[in-house]
Structure 1
Amino acid sequence: MTKLDKTNRHLLELIQKDARLSTHELADLVGLSASPVARRLRQLEDDGLIEGYRAHLNQRKLGLHITTFVHVRLKDHQEASVLAFEQSVREMSAVLNCHTVSGAYDYLLQVVSQDLVDYEQWVRSLQRLPLVSHIDSSFAIRGVKTNDFLPIP
């Protein structure tokens, strides 16, 4: 496992903010030459600290105007039921995130949709799953902090 020294932490912070920075640009920013930076990045990838690179898309400009947080309770917690539910959720493109949670519900989903009609169609597909016992939705009014940058310890 790669040691997270000051330079590696700085590299991880930089590429989280802009994964399009070239190796040469990163090298200038961290005070190394391009070859050691490329080796460090490759090692961080090999160690699984960097899982991939992606573009951050504008949700609104794509017409996805509604974000909803959906709590789901299952009818039972048998392994087959849990696995079937989780597979169904993985196949739903509208679901951005799904977490198992503690408390009154089993899962918390973050869902995007174009409008209320689109959301209603999605929630009806969720209701049709035989494992779902209860659904509670909260519509996001405004995002206060919506980045997905991880703090680097």
Structure 2
Amino acid sequence: MKINKPDPALDAADLAILKLLQKDGAMSTPKLAEQLSLSVTPCWRRLKRLEEEGYILGYQANLDRRKMGLDVLAFVSLSFGNVGDKQPNHFEALIRDHEQVLSCHKITGEADYLLVVLASDLDDYSNFVEQLRAIPGISSIHSNLALKEIKFNSRIPL
């Protein structure tokens, strides 16, 4: 895979920090500095700069969705009858706050949006779809349920 060159403001040490933190976001600054052969203070300064400049959006733990009782993973494509209306904006506002939606993308192609949705079971997913159907302007909803997860990775290649 060809990776475009990152922002020229990032040097090799910055990229190494980002790569290590993607693997272990809970890594302490002293441990990070040790891994990079830097002293703690310059490493801390780099880390704070990366946070302040928005390269690091936050820190989180990656949870096993199945152990959390979320056995259904669905890819949902939906279309609006008229994307020029205010209805898609209303939809986007609703989806931003919906906890079952892991991600939502406005896309090109046959559909207008693609969502990644979690549900505890098929009944729970069916309730989610009913909520979607209640949103004015949606003309079609197509679901694809994941049968098997081959690869999961939330890391950006660096």
TM range (shorter): over 0.9
1:24-64 per-residue CA deviation (whole Å, 9 max, x = no partner) reads 10011001011010000001111110111111111011100
Q: Name the SS of the counterpart of 1:121 in structure 2.
A: helix
Q: Which of 23, 28, 35 does residue 41 from structure 2 map onto?
A: 35
Q: Name the SS of the counterpart of 2:86 in structure 1.
A: helix
Q: Deviating runs (4+, > 2 A) in structure 1?
A: none
How many Å separate the matches in 1 of 2:73 and 2:111? 19
Q: Check the 8 A contact 2:76/2:143 in 1, yes or no.
A: yes
How many Å separate the matches in 2 of 1:90 and 1:27? 36
How many Å separate the matches in 2 of 1:9 and 1:88? 35
How many Å separate the matches in 2 of 1:37 and 1:80? 47
1:18 Cα offset (Å): 0.5
1:88-141 per-residue CA deviation (whole Å, 9 max, x = no partner) reads 111221110000111110000000000000000110010111121100000011
After the TM superposition, which of the residue ranges 13-22 and 2-11 deviates more from structure 2?
Answer: 2-11
Per the normalisation by structure 1, the TM-score is 0.95
Q: Name the amino acid aligned to 2:65.
A: Q
Q: Name the SS of the counterpart of 2:128 in structure 1.
A: helix
1:59 is aligned to 65
Q: How much identity, in percent, do the aligned residues show?
A: 38
1:12 aligns with 2:12: no
1:78 Cα offset (Å): 2.2
1:47 aligns with 2:53: yes
Q: Name the SS of the counterpart of 1:3 in structure 2.
A: coil
After the TM superposition, which of the residue ranges 108-117 and 74-83 deviates more from structure 2?
Answer: 74-83
Q: Name the amino acid aligned to 1:82.
A: P
1:92 aligns with 2:98: yes
* Residue segments in structure 1 that go unaligned for 5+ positions in a row: none
2:141 is aligned to 135
How many Å separate the matches in 1 of 2:50 and 2:98? 31
